[in-house]
Structure 1
Amino acid sequence: MIVLKTQTELETMKKACKISADALNVAEEWIKPNITTKEIDRKIHEYITKCGATPSFLNYMGYPASACISVNDVVIHGIPSDYHLQEGDIVSIDVGAYYQGFHGDNAYTFIVGDTSDETKALLKETQASLMKGIEQAVVGNRIGDISHAVETHVSQFGYGIVRQFVGHGVGKHLHEDPEVPNFGRPGRGPRLVEGMTIAIEPMINLKGDEVKVMSDGWTTKTVSGSMSAHFEHTIAITKNGPVILTVR
């Protein structure tokens, strides 16, 4: 069931989304060679709790950390560890905050120092596909219009689109209806109406669509071993067009 938010609820949700977005800024300050992903997670946890919020992911279905920190060929759900970031790595930070009854959810893929032009292009076009999807998030369109916009943009570069994991509704629960795939046919799926809040999150691989979940039950890697990029915003569907709630 798709849950619509009132204007009052949206104002409250904006606060949760701001904390989530600002947590990415905190993470960015600490992303550098030799820092561990566990240290970054700790900084994120400290910031979210300092804001009077709760990390949305911590203990969610048993997840053991406050953020998903995914390096290089890890697509999503990377568990923070003692791994030291290295020059040329890319690191996706996916973080949520629960505040006053609502969740905010967003992700960004950062470069550690400098990296290859091929990888930079992957990040650039994945982020561009997110914005293409958001452009279609208008009253009267359907979920498939968002999905198709993402797919159309990244397909021209030959990138792989992760199909096992998708975007989702977000609000009082971290994951709500509807699902928001990064592939699909325009004019299909639930119709977009005012008051919907959804997380659009392209997960795009340099090579191949296929991914595999590792033995820890969380860490998800590309089967090809290639780099993977992940960008995500929580947005609201309004009569005046899409509003990004997780603006950094």
Structure 2
Amino acid sequence: MPSTPTQSADKFDTSRANEYARQSRIALAGYDACHDLAACMLAATLGPLRGAKVLVVGAGGTAQEIIAMAALEPDWRFTAVDPSAPMLEAATQQLQANDLLGRTDVHLGHVEDLPAQASFDAATLIGVLHHLNGDDAKRQILRSVQARLKPGAPLIVAGNHYAYASQPLLLQAWGQRWRQQGASAEEVKAKLGKILQGADPPHSEAAVQALLHEAGFGEATRFFSSLFWGAWLACKTR
């Protein structure tokens, strides 16, 4: 059966939250660049809008998207949502260390838990979709975000796409990335086995675009790519 968002959050326990900052920067070559460019893409789309309110879905872990956006736009405010308490705690610590808690409302839970009348100027959904099993769960979260965006508002979606087993060369390169960072052959094998379990990424860039269209977003512009990972910006159309 397809997993629920709550079940997907269960794998992000305290152990995983504690290692997330290091692991994510190895697993995604260009982690910080992706978040920096996401901030640039939103700023370029919103233009001189002051005091923008940005919804950050799946904010747990590093809170890097908020840190990057806040550095570029000092008057933006953020609403951070994540269903994993350990991951949200890790993000809160990063926000506190960067003096950003005063600009961020932190919510433990799901997008659906936010008031239906919430109205945001932009949103990010980074590293989330491939952890949701099945297209129905992916559509649900995209539609929940869309419902809380102003007309024409931009959304950043970033995460793995392609069925992992369909891209053996990318899998091997991903293993070499870990070896490059000092992992042993046994560790690389274990990590390759882990990536094939417990995740269900969209199987192509076209599949990402289709999910966005179905949720009420227009044509997506891809602005970052790294092995399995892609990042896109699309705007609300209805």
- Shared topology, TM-score over 0.5? no
In terms of fraction of residues, the more strand-rich structure is: 1
TM-score by length of 2: 0.31
Bigger fraction of residues in helix: 2
